[in-house]
Chains A and B, each alone.
Chain A
Amino acid sequence: MAIRWKDYRIKGFYDELLQATGRSRAWARPLCKFFRSISDAELADRRAASDLAIRAMGITFTVYSEEEGGSIDRAWPFDIIPRVIRKDEWDGIEAGLKQRVQALNLFIDDIYHDQRIVKDGVFPAEILADSKNFRPQCVGVTPQNGVWAHICGSDLVRDKDGTMYVLEDNLRVPSGVSYMLENRAVMKRTFPELFEHYNIQPVDEYPSQLYECLASIAPREAEFPEIVVLTPGIYNSAYFEHSYLAQQMGAELVEGRDLLVGDDDCVYMRTVAGLSRVDVIYRRIDDLFLDPEAFNPDSALGVPGLMRAWKKGNVALANAPGAGVADDKVVYAFVPKMIKYYLEQEPLIPNVPTYLCIDKKERDYVLANLDKLVVKPANESGGYGMLIGPQASPKERAKFARLIRRDPRNYIAQPLLTLSTTPTLVDTHAEPRHLDLRPFILSGTRTYVTTGGLTRVALKRGSTVVNSSQGGGSKDTWIIDTDGM
């Protein structure tokens, strides 16, 4: 008997698979039963099989190591117990994500045109003035269909009462979707019988959906537009994903030096056969490195003249430059208001309550309650530069109080959510570990949401940091249709 669920302790958290009574949730029951029924030896076998599959499939992420002489590929840390969400809950989340991304795209387009939302007093002008990701170079540009953020990765977390919140929206170059796809491939190899008997919604249509989304924004009429994935190169931590997505879509994987902007302001790639026109660039390079003529002049990753070609409508960029203006933890606080303002709807998924330090009253509250709050800088990602108040030392809290007073625009604070947990394999038994979920939303002529998304899990006991660069792992995410179960 492998996993004894009665030994699994849930301490004041919402657990994704089990109820507080220790009984499995209805939609997770066959899964829990399966893990209870197999022997220790078989569990060990399956785990070894999944490790082997990850190595054989070459699923890696890149970390920089001085010791080992530069970048090295690490095998992707993966846990074999899937995370399960029932389909009717997921349908609501999917609708909420579509609503959210639609509002975000309207917001970005508005910001680079009339700024109605500012004039109408819904969004403060001073926040925009201080935005690190607002690009004056983009003012007045209208991308295809008015869509700026074609690929969005929104992070969802569940609090102790079971409510799902949006924690942040990644609108610049969100990553992780390849791991969502590979996690499923590993699970199918390792546990084929579970897929036979369980109604698990498929995830594999993402690459073709991404291709269609990108093809729909091509500036030229063509049956097969030339789509390329622009990567910073093999030393980037997400290079595996760039290469994987290019392969899955049948697109060319290019670096900045492969492209040039011709005298006709069109983008071409250098090929053995000559210069070949490019229609759509799925860029995985940050705005500021895209075009040394328009942004950082020292960038060797970008393509001189690219912004010119884009502004003339000769090439589509996904995501559009400047889309990151809405990828800011201060702007995040206004998303519910945007949904009301642009769509005249109530938000379907709530935001985490957020205190803006730029507002004096809210700042005073934050400074007085640093021991209860999580403080985040507006423009960092990957969990860097944060203060987790309840776990921090008085010295760290004092440091953040100084930082907030010096630059209030750049900080927000949120109550510390009690993140939900899910059973995760530790040696031969299961222990609760905290997790989040990153679904991906594609916006072209229509909107598509991945079935589930990438579940990231903090592998260390008690930790809530799920980033792979900081000891996080991941799990397959199952959306289960409970009809007929």
Chain B
Amino acid sequence: MLSRVADSIYWIARYLERAENVARLVNVNAHLLLDMPRKATLGWQPLIDITGDATLFDSLYNEASERNVVRFLIADGRNPGSILNTVKSARENARTIRDIIPREAWEGINALFLEVKANLPAGLAHRRRFDFLRSIIDTNQGITGLLAGTMLHDYGYDVLRMGRNLERADMTTRIVDVRSTTLLPHESEELTPFENIQWMSVLHSLSALQSYTQKVQGPVRRAAVIRFLLQEREFPRAFLHCVGEVRTCLQALPHNDDPMRYANRILRNLRSAKPDQMPAKKLQKFLDRSQLSLARLDAVIRSTYFALDRKAPIVEN
């Protein structure tokens, strides 16, 4: 498989996953705010912090109002991470390899872009936003299923899953990072009713509530949620699970020494850590390091498989 093709597949997976994640974030935040008391200081700023685009956002908008944040995350052409732009980037990547991926997958991605573009006003209108975002998530899940069921399960499929899982792992660490430190700084033995709601919403934003209640007994509490989202092997959006998936994909790929070393190191650190017992500051540092290690893994995957130079190994043919 050509490196350029693999590179495009990787980015299709990352962009589609990113679009879906943003859609979940916006939907869940809206629901959360409806449940919170009026004087609560929550609001929409945390979403900007989670996506890591605060500098860009501040240069474009005066305040983190619902209207501004939603526009920025869904429809703003100036934000490379907006749903509009990520879906567009996924489509551009798919377009360059449309003869290689299954025809239905290209059609699905193309249709998703056209749907997003046509329904942007709905996405911004308060009343119709939920359905709009829900439909993006559904369409994306459809494409994922379609790819699993129709594309060759060759190197390309491994690359697709690596892209998706790295993006997922990244989003999970960001959500835990922001929600545990800036949004919910207080730790107390007593369970306040709103704390419970907030942690439930964090689980919601990762479609994790149902899995959590099956796996963890007792009320929804900070420590258990953090442990679940970071270290639960069986939950598909947990940090540990995602990196484990990347590792499984790497095992099927050639010349995997370097990337495997990086993946194994992340897994080792993650298994031995006790993030649920860390105070806020320490947890934040731990998550920062985790994100850096993900970025390094991404870089080494790309240099090994997508950006070969003269020194790369030669295939016998």
Which A residues fall within an 8 A CB radius of B? 226, 233-234, 243, 247, 252-255, 257-258, 260, 262-263, 268-277
Contact = CB atoms under 8 A, between A and B. Distances in A.
Interface string B119-160: 000000000000000000000000000000000000100010
- The secondary structure that dominates the B interface is loop
Interface string B1-14: 11110100000000
8 contacts: A234-B95, A257-B4, A270-B306, A272-B159, A273-B315, A274-B312, A275-B313, A277-B315
Q: How large is the interface on B (under 10, 10 to 19, 20 to 34, 35 or more residues)?
A: 20 to 34
B89 to A, nearest CB: 14
A16 B77 CA distance: 55
B99 A272 contact: no
A252 B2 contact: yes
A270 B3 contact: yes
B38 interface: no
Interface in B59-84: none
Contact of B317 (A258, A262, A277): A277
Contacts, number: 67
A272 B3 contact: yes
Interface string B148-182: 00000001000100000000000000000000000
B298 to A, nearest CB: 16
Nearest to B314: A275
A275 B4 contact: no
A274 B313 contact: yes
B248 to A, nearest CB: 16
B310 A271 contact: no
Contacts of A247: 99
Given A234-B95, A274-B312, A254 B155 contact: no
Contacts of A272: 1-3, 6, 155, 159, 253-254, 305
Contacts of B221: none
Interface string B279-315: 0000000000000000000000000011111101111
Nearest to B312: A275
Contact of A243 (B99, B306, B307, B309): B99
B254 A276 contact: no
Given A268-B314, A275-B312, A277-B317, 13 more contacts: A243-B99, A258-B3, A260-B308, A263-B310, A270-B4, A271-B2, A272-B2, A272-B6, A274-B314, A274-B315, A275-B308, A276-B314, A276-B317
Contacts of B6: 272
A74 to B, nearest CB: 16
Contact of B315 (A254, A255, A260, A275): A275
A273 B3 CA distance: 9
Given A234-B96, A258-B3, A274 B254 contact: yes
A63 B314 CA distance: 39
A247 B99 CA distance: 9
Contacts of A226: 317
B255 interface: yes
Nearest 8 pairs between A and B by C-beta?
A270-B3, A274-B313, A270-B308, A274-B315, A276-B315, A272-B155, A272-B1, A275-B314
A62 to B, nearest CB: 12
Contacts of A274: 254-255, 308, 312-315
A36 B313 CA distance: 65
Contact of A255 (B4, B308, B317): B4
Nearest to A263: B310
A262 B311 CA distance: 9
A263 B312 CA distance: 12
Q: Please indicate which of the listed interface residues A247, A252, A271, A277 has the most CB atoms of chain B within 10 Å of its own CB.
A: A271
Contact of B310 (A252, A255, A262, A276): A262
